[in-house]
């Protein structure tokens, strides 16, 4: 049996997801084969060109028609956040398994509606997953496993940061990621979501309260010329940036563990610097995306004369996901996490189990992001992260049409 996939949206994430769908069946012994059936986009020519380049069998421009097709089994959503809820809820209602890029939605209410739809679909054997792909970097999965095994003892503190610099130039045009109605938030949602999810994933604990601040450093940017992409576009006046450029916040996990978070697109010289360090009473673990095959481990129980951070090269066959790839010492890259994402989703569909991260996990991250924004608006006051019992009834009413 083959699972036929429709991907809605393209661009950077479309390319990355396409690599995952294309590679996984050739490297891993998947329980089900997959077919890259349809790529969906708004522009006929650009979508057809992307489909041909990335290996999709056909292209289309109407996602509603595509998810209604009987020959589509999985819908992969890589559109901007403002359309995630509508597409995902419709796909789940149509009986399609859904993979949705992070962050899950633009608002908590949308994420709640999506999680509810996923719960209803689960009763019919329909699976859903959020694309927090860094969970599937072998070193990050190993970091999580070592914490769960107690190798660093009781977790006492976490430091997580995601730093980029692609907006330092004030002449970078006003793309959709800088518009709140399209993206929901700026650095906070785009890259801050990753460090929130990673912290919760590796520690097994949820963020329960936050104190934070956000800042828009460049408040006006050149408008994109009509029909232009980000690079080399001529300006047609200036527009307001309506999202944050940087977010700094502190959080407390369920066991009262203190966490520091930084998400910024203004860290000059840092291209894609995602780091996490988890300190425990028996040791510590640290990981850096820019050295993604390495995990730093400090064993405080070792003899005093040999204590110090040691480097684990996470390329051995015993390490998560690695056995299907290259001989030990041959490095994996950024793109491999997208193949691992496909492996886990296909396995869950075949086995009838729930993949992670679930839409509930995505909702948990969305609640943290909302609490950071609330805290920032209240002069960084400590703010509780909403639980499942704290629903926005007015927003729920506005989303009834999505749940139909």
User: Which pLDDT does position 226 carry in this prediction?
Assistant: 60
User: Which pLDDT does position 388 carry in this prediction?
Assistant: 74
Closest CA to 59 of 77, 73, 41: 41
Domains and CATH numbers, the chain: 2-134+387-403 (3.40.50.720), 138-291+293-332 (3.30.360.10)
Q: Is 136 helix (H, G, I), strand (E, B) or coil?
A: helix
User: Which pLDDT does position 224 carry in this prediction?
Assistant: 80
Q: Who contacts 334 (Cβ-Cβ below 8 Å, separation ≥6)?
A: 16, 292
User: Which pLDDT does position 395 carry in this prediction?
Assistant: 44
CA 76/CA 7 separation, integer angstroms: 4
CA 264/CA 187 separation, integer angstroms: 6
**Number of other residues whose CB lies within 10 A of the CB of residue 65:** 11
Residue pair 99/131 in contact (Cβ under 8 Å)? The answer is yes
Single pTM value for the model: 0.93
Burial class (CB in 10 A: 0-12, 13-18, 19+), 266: middle
- Alpha-carbon distance values, 255 to 25, 69, 195 (Å): 41, 47, 18
Q: Give residue 196's Cα distance to chain centre.
A: 10
Residue pair 160/198 in contact (Cβ under 8 Å)? The answer is yes
CA 148/CA 155 separation, integer angstroms: 10
Residue pair 259/158 in contact (Cβ under 8 Å)? The answer is yes
Residue pair 78/8 in contact (Cβ under 8 Å)? The answer is yes
CA 244/CA 108 separation, integer angstroms: 18
CA 360/CA 206 separation, integer angstroms: 12
* Average pLDDT for runs of 10 along the chain of length 404: 94 96 97 97 97 98 98 98 97 98 97 98 98 98 98 98 97 95 96 98 98 98 69 70 98 96 98 98 98 98 95 98 97 98 98 97 98 98 87 46 43
């Amino acid at each position: 049996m083959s699972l036929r996939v429709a991907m809605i949206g393209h661009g950077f994430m479309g390319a990355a997801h396409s690599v995952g769908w294309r590679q996984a069946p050739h490297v891993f012994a998947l329980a089900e084969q997959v077919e890259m059936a349809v790529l969906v986009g708004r522009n006929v020519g650009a979508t057809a060109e992307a489909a041909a380049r990335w290996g999709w069998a056909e292209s289309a421009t109407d996602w509603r028609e595509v998810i209604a097709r009987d020959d589509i089994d999985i819908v992969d959503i890589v559109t901007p956040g403002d359309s995630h809820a509508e597409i995902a809820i419709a796909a789940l209602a149509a009986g399609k398994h859904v993979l949705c890029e992070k962050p899950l939605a633009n608002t908590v209410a949308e994420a709640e509606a999506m999680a509810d739809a996923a719960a209803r679909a689960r009763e019919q054997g329909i699976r859903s997953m959020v694309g927090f792909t860094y969970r599937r970097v072998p070193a990050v999965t190993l970091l999580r496993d070592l914490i769960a095994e107690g190798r660093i003892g009781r977790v006492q503190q976490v430091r997580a940061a995601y730093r980029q610099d692609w907006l330092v130039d004030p002449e970078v045009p006003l793309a959709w990621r800088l518009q709140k109605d399209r993206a929901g938030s700026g650095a906070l949602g785009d890259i801050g979501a990753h460090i929130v999810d990673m912290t919760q994933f590796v520690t097994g604990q949820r963020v329960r309260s936050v104190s934070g601040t956000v800042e828009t450093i460049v408040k006006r940017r050149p408008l994109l010329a009509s029909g232009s992409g980000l690079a080399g576009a001529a300006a047609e006046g200036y527009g307001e940036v309506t999202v944050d450029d940087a977010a700094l916040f502190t959080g407390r996990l369920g066991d009262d563990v203190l966490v520091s978070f930084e998400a910024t697109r203004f860290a000059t010289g840092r291209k894609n610097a995602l780091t996490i360090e988890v300190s425990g009473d028996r040791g510590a673990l640290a990981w850096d995306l820019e050295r993604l095959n390495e995990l730093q481990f400090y064993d405080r129980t070792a003899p005093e004369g040999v204590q110090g951070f040691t480097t684990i090269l996470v390329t051995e066959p015993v390490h998560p996901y690695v056995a299907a790839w290259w001989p030990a010492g041959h490095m994996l890259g950024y793109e491999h996490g997208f193949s691992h994402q496909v492996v886990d989703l296909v396995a869950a569909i075949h086995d009838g189990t729930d993949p992670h991260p679930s839409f509930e996990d995505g909702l948990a991250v969305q609640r943290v992001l909302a609490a950071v924004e609330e805290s920032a608006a209240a002069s960084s006051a400590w703010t509780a992260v909403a639980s499942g019992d704290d629903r926005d009834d007015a927003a729920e009413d506005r989303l009834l049409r999505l749940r139909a």
